Amino acid sequence: MNSALPSPANKPPREPRKFRAFWARITEGLQIQELWGQFKSEARESYQLYSKDVDWEAVQKERSKFKRALRSAWALFQAMLMKLSPARRVLLLAALLLIMVHPQFSSRHDTVDLNFEGLGAVILFVLLALELADRVTMKRDLEIAREIQQWLVPNSPPSVPGTDIAFATRPQNTVAGDYYDAFLRPAQPSATSSPDLFVVVADVAGKSVPAALLMATFQSGLRALSSTPAALEEIVTGLDRYARAHSLDGRRFTTAFLAEIDPATREMRYTNCGHNDPILRRASGAIERLATGGPPLGLPLFTENEIAYGSASVRLGPGDLLFIFTDGVVEAVDEAGEEFGEPRLIASIESAAAGNASEVLSRVMSDVNSFVGYARQHDDITALVLRITA
């Protein structure tokens, strides 16, 4: 007999193995500490959502701490209740009454205590199933929207000799209002040199689906204008005109940084439309900020004249690094509410300055993730890195 074969007594029990597999599937491999951190973050977000509908001034008028706490709980419950449809509100109230109220009926010989807790629990489970079904349906629709949105941004940067480009985006929700792009403008028939490289990073005010829809219109407008012989300033003016027509009286404005680079001379002409000033780290280590431009695109006009956006030119050299980002990078907050901030961003770039564009980008995104920890993301995060290699 082969003694190496495990005996039935040495085999691990089947039930614990099933439980471990079930637990791993439920937790997706997260540890207890990670699960607790995730729960706290989600609970904080939910509280902020419901507390927006509470009249806290009226609550604070209560002198008694007990009454104030009771009124706060009642106000938060009402805020949560009103997020449901009318039919589900009635079902939730009925379920809570069935769980909390135990009617008694007395007769000559006995007292009957009616217990409907089980029925109340069933109603709560049905409500949970209905809410989950809505969420799954919405998530499926958002996933489709995300796929469509991903078609609007490049999967990989264009191949330009002497230039290394990397980009990344992380939506706050399934879809984002941030936009990035890098492409070669179509060469004009009269052009004698290679086509210019166009780079852009933009951020539509707001989040999720409304911002994503406006981002799509921004992308189509930019691509259409850049396919013409129009200069950078003319492209920006056209984008501002188009954004103003779809900005809902300025409530959906767009910040953007747009630049056009001549691959032969490495001269970059840019304009900054109310965007976070990109960071240009020279090969010498000097830091420059690119701020020339004008206000965000789509703001209402208070005169008959259109906004004149300024532009500037800088000459890029070997080893120079351009880091363009949206405000979600520097405004990422940790659990204490502290922002990542530009000093940390610049330090992160400096720590990886010797690497290629992908390495610099990975280092910054990793540092942001480490700083934020378990705190939920409050805004879309997008960055584009361009390095001159020769």
Residues 139 and 226 in one domain: no
- My answer on whether 86 and 191 are in the same domain is no
Domain check: are 283 and 317 in the same one? Answer: yes
pLDDT score for 326: 94
User: Is residue 330 domain-resident?
Assistant: yes
Same domain? For 63 and 194 the reply is no
Among 147, 172, 197, the domain-final residue is 147
- CATH for 165: 3.60.40.10
Domain-located, residue 271: yes
Q: Choose among 220, 331, 232: nearest CA to 272.
A: 232
Q: Tell which of 120, 147, 174 closes a domain.
A: 147
- What type of residue is 3? S
Whether 137 and 213 map to the same domain: the answer is no
Read off the pTM. 0.73
Give the integer Cα–Cα distance in Å for 154 and 170. 14
Range of the domain at 88: 14-147
The count of C-alpha atoms lying within 13 angstroms of the C-alpha of 140, restricted to the half-sphere facing its C-beta, is 5
Is residue 131 within 8 A of residue 87, CB to CB? The reply is no
Q: What is the pLDDT of residue 8?
A: 55
Number of domains observed in the structure of the chain: 2
Q: What is the 3-state secondary structure (H, E, C) of the chain?
A: CCCCCCCHHHCCCHHHHHHHHHHHHHHCCCCHHHHHHHHHHHHHHHHHHHHCCCCHHHHHCCCCHHHHHHHHHHHHHHHHHCCCCHHHHHHHHHHHHHHHCCCEEECCCCEEECCCHHHHHHHHHHHHHHHHHHHHHHHHHHHHHHHHHHHCCCCCCCCCCCEEEEEEEECCCCCCCEEEEEEECCCCCCCCCCCCEEEEEEEECCCHHHHHHHHHHHHHHHHHHHCCCCCHHHHHHHHHHHHHHCCCCCCCCEEEEEEEECCCCCEEEEEEECCCCCEEECCCCCEEECCCEECCECCCCCCCCCCCCCCEEEECCCCCEEEEECHHHHCCECCCCCECHHHHHHHHHHHCCCCCHHHHHHHHHHHHHHHHCCCCCCCCEEEEEEEECC
Q: Are residues 98 and 224 in the same domain?
A: no
With a cut of 50, list the residues of the chain below it in pLDDT. 1
Q: 80-110: per-residue pLDDT in tens?
A: 889 888 999 999 999 888 888 776 555 556 6
Residues 190 and 90 in one domain: no
Within this chain, do residues 223 and 304 fall inside the same structural domain, yes or no?
yes
Structure tokens at 145: 């929207």
The number of C-alpha atoms within 13 Å of 65 and in the hemisphere containing its C-beta is 0
> Do both 105 and 185 map to the same domain?
no
Domain boundary pick from 87, 119, 147: 147
For residues 39 and 127, membership in a common domain is answered with: yes
Same domain, 240 and 186: yes
